[in-house]
């Protein structure tokens, strides 16, 4: 069946009739929506909306993450043929998943971007869809959390990252990818008692109450012990998951703005994400994929897998 479909399928981003099911279009051709989902702004009945925020003007070092959504979509075509390995079910067959496209904004009106992100994600949430966002730099998570908290109240948070992103910043006008979690907690968007950061390996003593499971602890204690601590932290609360691709060691994800050695291996990240099945996930993002430094495409591939795992997590409780 797959072979026969491959002979006839093309541009499933525009031609697919159903919002469900795998796609067997040739990976090397066609319009590159995420996982060959239909591009649409119609969210009627949609369970998950994948969207891109190509913004990288908040970085402290190397830019380029504005190209992340495009690269992750292209890399995702390699996964469109099969259910994600290890889950035991196909989320694309039990949920209506679409590609909502990228957010439009004026790149020169940087001060307007946070409100635009909040409104963009708010429209997805108001339609009843769970958002999976492709960044962009990590600043975008702050306005996303504003949109989420406005509708759900303070949420639990799971952060995969090399950096805590809790550097003190009390200037509401600053747009900085290293302070999103500090501001989210100060604004009451995230419950710090139910927040956990995994993979940290840069020094910042002020964690403002967030549980830190640094990379050395993951390597030392293992996946199962790490999962137990994450679950203890978030409990059964509504939870948002943000995955900075620099949580992975540069050997696995070199294409990012602020790489740090000693990070997670891709197998560890995969096992941790799959081990979170059953958490009350309400949305997530993968950020900081920077294609100009991704000479082999490995970072975009990792980002596409993370986004697929987020979809699988969102579908787990809906099977």
Nearest of 267, 258, 263 to residue 213 by alpha carbon: 263
3-state helix, strand, coil in the chain (%, to 5): 40, 15, 45
Coil/strand/helix, residue 225: helix
CB atoms within 10 A of CB 127: 16
138 is annotated as contributing to ligand binding: yes
Q: What angle do CA 15, 18, 24 make, to 5 degrees?
A: 65
Peptide bond into 136 cis (omega under 30): yes
Distance CA 80, CA 176 (A): 34
Q: Would strands 211-213 and 281-287 be described as parallel, antiparallel, or unpaired?
A: unpaired
Distance CA 261, CA 76 (A): 26
170 is annotated as contributing to ligand binding: no
Under DSSP, the state recorded for 89 is S
Nearest of 104, 192, 118 to residue 155 by alpha carbon: 192
Nearest of 62, 78, 73, 61 to residue 293 by alpha carbon: 62
> Residue 90 class from Cβ within 10 Å (0-12 exposed, 13-18 middle, 19+ buried)?
middle
Structure tokens at 36: 């060959």
163 is annotated as contributing to ligand binding: yes
244 is annotated as contributing to ligand binding: yes
Distance CA 247, CA 269 (A): 9
Helices (H), the chain: 2-8, 12-15, 68-76, 91-94, 113-126, 141-152, 180-186, 215-221, 223-234, 266-274, 298-316
Where are any strands of DSSP class E within 82-189? 97-102, 130-135, 155-160
List, as residue ranges, the binding site: 138, 161, 163, 165, 244, 246
List, as residue ranges, the binding site for Mn(2+): 138, 161, 163, 165, 244, 246
């Amino acid at each position: 069946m797959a072979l026969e479909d491959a002979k006839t399928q093309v541009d499933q981003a525009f031609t697919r009739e159903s919002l469900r099911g795998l796609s067997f279009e040739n990976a090397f051709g066609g319009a590159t929506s995420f996982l060959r989902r239909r591009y649409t702004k119609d969210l009627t009945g949609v369970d998950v909306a994948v969207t891109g925020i190509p913004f990288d003007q908040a970085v402290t070092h190397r830019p380029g993450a504005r190209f992340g959504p495009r690269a992750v979509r292209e890399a995702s075509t390699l996964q469109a043929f099969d259910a994600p390995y290890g889950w035991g079910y196909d989320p694309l067959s039990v949920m209506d998943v679409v590609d909502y496209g990228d957010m439009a904004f004026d790149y020169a009106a940087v001060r307007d971007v946070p409100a635009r992100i909040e409104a963009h994600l708010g429209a997805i949430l108001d339609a009843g869809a769970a958002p999976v966002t492709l960044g962009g730099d990590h600043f975008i998570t702050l306005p996303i959390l504003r949109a989420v908290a406005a509708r759900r109240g303070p949420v639990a948070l799971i952060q995969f990252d090399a950096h805590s992103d809790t550097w003190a910043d009390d200037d509401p006008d600053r747009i900085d990818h290293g302070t999103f979690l500090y501001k989210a907690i100060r604004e009451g968007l995230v419950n710090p008692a139910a927040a956990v950061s995994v993979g940290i390996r840069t020094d910042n003593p002020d964690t403002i109450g967030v549980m830190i499971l640094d990379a050395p602890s993951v390597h030392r204690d293992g996946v199962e012990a790490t999962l137990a601590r994450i679950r203890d932290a978030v409990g059964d609360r509504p939870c948002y998951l943000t995955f900075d691709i620099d949580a992975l060691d540069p050997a696995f994800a070199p294409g990012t703005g602020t790489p740090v050695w000693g990070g997670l291996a891709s197998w560890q990240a995969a096992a941790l994400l799959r081990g979170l099945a059953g958490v009350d996930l309400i949305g997530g993002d993968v950020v900081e994929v920077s294609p100009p430094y991704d000479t082999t495409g490995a970072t975009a591939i990792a980002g596409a897998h993370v986004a697929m795992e987020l979809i699988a997590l969102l579908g787990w409780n809906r099977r």
